[in-house]
Amino acid sequence: MTVARSAEQAQFAGSLHDMLAADGPGAARAWAAGDRGPGLATWRALAALGVTALAVPERAGGLGASFTDVVIACEEIGHHALPGPVAESVAAVPVLLAALSASPLPENEFSEIVVSENAVSGGALSRQVRPRGAPPSTDQSGADESGADESGADESGAEQSGAEQSGADQPDTDMPPDMSGADIPGADMPVGGAPGEWLCGLADGELIATLAAPPWLPFAADGDAAGLVLLADGGAVRLATPGSRHRSVDRARSLFETSGGQVLAGGPAAADAVARALDAGALASAAQLLGAGRALLEASVRHARQRTQFGRPIGSFQAVKHPLADVATGLEFAGPLLYAAAFTLDGGGCHAARDVSAAKVACTGAARRAARVALQVHGAIGYTEEHDLHLWLTKVRALAGAWGSQAEHRARVIAAITAPETGQDDEVTGDNRETPGLAPRATAGDRGAAGDRGAAGDRGAAAREAAAAGPAGEPTWS
């Protein structure tokens, strides 16, 4: 196995970088303000480059690429702070639908595809998937972001509390204008709503999808921007509709409660598909974090070269350049773990879950360190919304707890490496699969570290991200 990029992969990453560098921060700012036009235009450009088709099988009109290619794309997307449900639509949902498409239900058991005018793309048709018989999507402007997925973990993995004081479980009524589902991108997508047809829509860039999978993914990210919302809960995969909208510390990210509709699949096969999809989403999120960490390091180095103090660039002082060197080292060491996990996930090996968790821990830790050092190097200007730095600071803060917290992923790594030797594949014998979700079942001690997910309805992670946002939605750093 080699973790070095091939010449074709390096060229692909370079093309993505050049395309996204045009106005990545501008798209993120517009998305946060309620204008999805620039962001959706970038999504269409990604589709033209084949990014949305990478994880879609060839039989469904996709590229059937390796997961290493998916990771390369997500890393560049994180590097340029592209808004939208990236890990869900580019990685997790295609993996899930690819498994479900092997045995689709009859057409009349699936959803309607609703045609609406797309105000953003100049009147082109858009498509929105909803459970059959469900009312049309309405403007969710009465709710706002809650930060469902920030664990609040520090670098050691200890979880921060304060969920009850933050009021994280209450919908926020302060919302940007015109965030309805009417501007979801789409063209001529086949009507009928079978998983194979949804895969075609994802591959062509005609459909954006998102996913909720409690307890590790309690809310659906950017549910109002997605034409397809899925809910994986209770051993079944269902169509879902977005409900109340909650605030995230990342203003370009919204999180939605979901209500399930028709059951698409259930039983052990569905549980296995969900588990693989969660691993795919976690790895894509780790890649975004690594890319965001790179962007923060680059911004810090530029600032350290330009900012002078005592007649010298501040980057010449050890108090600045040594922390930057530590950031570079952390990012450099996280990269091989990320690409090794992608290689293992492609092969379906018995240690795929362990390797994905190890990569998520490493990339999260490296990105969080990059965020702290970037804020220190930039000083007071780094706190301001006028400076682009906050786009990556808040995205790292949000994604750090998405798709499983540091404590949860560390627990899964520990469970894998301390499992007794059986001479067989752990995933076959079930020695390391207490649950089919993202992590093994938590012990009482683990729950104390990870936060109470009981009475709050699996919203411990949601509460912690909103706690990070503070009472007024402003980020606080520890």
At 319-335, the pLDDT tens digits run 999 999 999 999 999 99
Length of the chain: 478
Q: What whole-number distance in Å separates Cα of residue 274 and Cα of residue 433?
A: 13
Which pLDDT value is given to residue 477? 37
* 312 pLDDT above the threshold of 60: yes
What local confidence, expressed as pLDDT, does residue 183 receive? 54
Cα 56 from chain centre: 18
Q: Model confidence at 150, in pLDDT bands (50, 70, 90)?
A: very low
The 8 Å CB, 24+ separation contacts for 271-276 are 271/235, 271/436, 272/99, 272/436, 273/95, 273/96, 273/99, 273/100, 273/237, 274/96, 274/213, 274/232, 274/237, 274/436, 274/437, 275/353, 275/436, 275/437, 275/438, 276/95, 276/96, 276/99, 276/345
pTM of model > 0.85: no
Domains of the chain and CATH, by start: 111-199+207-265 (no CATH), 286-469 (1.20.140.10)
Sequence letter at residue 376 = Q
Pick left, alpha or beta for residue 123 (phi over 0 → left; psi -120 to 50 → alpha; otherwise beta): left
Across the chain, what does the average pLDDT equal?
77
pLDDT of residue 102: 66
Share in percent of the chain as helix, strand, coil (round to 5): 50, 10, 40
Are 239 and 126 in contact by the 8 Å Cβ rule? The answer is no
- Strand-pair partners of 128: 114
Beta bridge partners of 221: 255
- For residues 130, 64, 16, 40, the Cα torsion angle rounded to the nearest 10 degrees is -10
- Among all chains, which residue has been given the structure tokens 């997605």? 226
Phi, psi (degrees; rounded to nearest 5) at 366 = -65, -40
Q: Quick check: 299 pLDDT over 90?
A: yes
pLDDT exceeds cutoff 70 at 417: yes
Q: What per-residue confidence (pLDDT) applies to 193? A: 55
What pLDDT does 407 receive?
A: 95
The β-bridge partners of 116 are 126
Separation of alpha carbons 398 and 108, rounded Å: 38
What pLDDT does residue 78 have?
97
**pLDDT for 103:** 53
Give pLDDT tens digits for 454-474. 333 344 444 444 444 444 444
pLDDT at res. 422: 59
What DSSP assignment string belongs to 8-34?
Answer: HHHHHHHHHHHHHTTTHHHHHHHHHHT
Task: Give the per-residue pLDDT at 431.
Answer: 38
B/e letters for 40-65, b = 16+ CB within 10 Å, e = fewer, are bebbeebbebbbbbbbbbeebbbbbb
DSSP state of 107: G
Summarize the confidence of residues 269-275 as an average pLDDT. Answer: 92
pLDDT tens-digit map of 368-410: 999 999 999 999 898 898 999 999 999 999 999 999 999 999 9
> Following DSSP, what letter does each residue of 139-207 receive, concatenated?
--TT---B-TT-----TTSPPP--HHHHTTTSPP----S---GGG----SPPTT--HHHHHHHHHHTS-
Average pLDDT over residues 197-206: 94
From 34-38, 286-290, 347-351, the region with the lowest mean pLDDT: 347-351
Residue with tokens 């301001």: 384
Residue type, 411: A
The confidence score (pLDDT) of residue 191 equals 35
180-201 tens-digit pLDDT: 444 554 333 433 457 888 999 9
